[in-house]
Amino acid sequence: MNPSFKPAWWLPGAHLQTLWASFLRAPVTLERTRERLWLADGDFIDLDWHGPHDAEAPLVLLLHGLTGSSSSHYILGQQQALAAQGWASVALNWRGCSGEPNLLPRGYHSGVSDDLGLVIAHLQAARPLAPLYAVGYSLGGNVLLKYLGERGEQSGLQAAVAVSVPFRLDHCADRIGLGFSRVYQAHFMRELTAYVQAKKRRFADAGASQNLSILEQLGPLDGMRTFWDFDGQITAPLHGYADADDYYRRASSRYFLGAIRVPTLLIQAADDPFVFRHSVPEPGELAPATELELHAKGGHVGFIDGSLRTPGFYLERRIPQWLASQSSSPMKRDQSCGKRTFSGS
């Protein structure tokens, strides 16, 4: 298939593509089953299952972005689309993102591939006969690509898709501080600092003085304006990084792309308001089985087409179709650079 995406004429510009569905999309309602996965460190991750209870039905793990959850519109829409083709899906909530603060001072971040590995191992054990795939959005896409590069042929996945990926976290921390994108930055800072404050209150109420002390030692949350501020003061020390530079360098997925060994589709927009165009990898950086689908427009996890009366969601057509193509035909291993597709205007 030659993919094509024609952005909705009534959503001109990257910001409208990025924001429209979050505010105006009709809610998607699904019947889901929640499973709590307890981790060896005493914390938990919540998983939301949807689709056929069939031991051999293909299973897709969905990974949300920063400050999102399994209830993000793009996760619900994708679960609905996958079920329509008879596939099961499970939406992961990163630590603390399922509506309940997690139990440890640490949380989730853009490099948390260890948690992803634990979830994938759990799914393999739960449905050993089911082909397993994964789709990651934004932060979730970065974690997924990092994991794939780290694990190589031992990822446990048949294929993967990553959408609107912040391939270079340092670049993205700079990009989101420019122009209208500062509105997104302010939103994220409010959400992230509230996330830490909620954990402090929970630890205080529970008498968990040691955990509370760890967070208090990170310093006051007032005055944080940028990702460099938050990641330098909170994310890095809380998760074993020396500073923001060290975190961005070690967690950015762009450095892991060449080691990916499973078929992988990257869907990206050149006008993404979170990602500089030069942050998108060049063909020579991609593994042979990786395809980069770079559209001129689409915003950040937008890709809305169709009419105002009947909006369309390109990602919910393209991703199930591509995954199905990987399950039904042998992988074509071109030993040259990764394939690049340009589409849209």
Active site residues: 138, 272, 300
Mapped to the 3 state alphabet, what secondary structure does the chain carry? CCCCCCCCCCCCCHHHHHHHHHHHCCCCCCCCEEEEEECCCCCEEEEEEECCCCCCCCEEEEECCCCCCCCCHHHHHHHHHHHHCCCEEEEEECCCCCCCCCCCCCCCCCCCHHHHHHHHHHHHHHCCCCCEEEEEECHHHHHHHHHHHHHHHHCCCCEEEEECCCCCHHHHHHHCCCCCHHHHHHHHHHHHHHHHHHHHHHHHHHCCHHHHHHHHCCCCCCCCCCHHHHHHHHHHHHCCCCCHHHHHHHHCHHHHHHHCCCCEEEEEECCCCCCCHHHCCCHHHCCCCEEEEEECCCCCCCCEEECCCCEEEHHHHHHHHHHHHHHHCCCCCCCCCCEEEEECC
Angle, vertex CA 290, rays to CA 285 and CA 293, nearest 5: 95
Q: Is 156 exposed, middle or buried (0-12, 13-18, 19+ CB in 10 A)?
A: middle
Query: Cα–Cα distances in Å, from 122 out to 32, 132, 182, 305?
Result: 18, 11, 38, 36
CB atoms near residue 183 (< 10 Å) = 13
Confirm if 292 and 339 have CB atoms less than 8 A apart: yes
Which are the contacts of 328, defined by CB distance < 8 A and separation ≥ 6? none
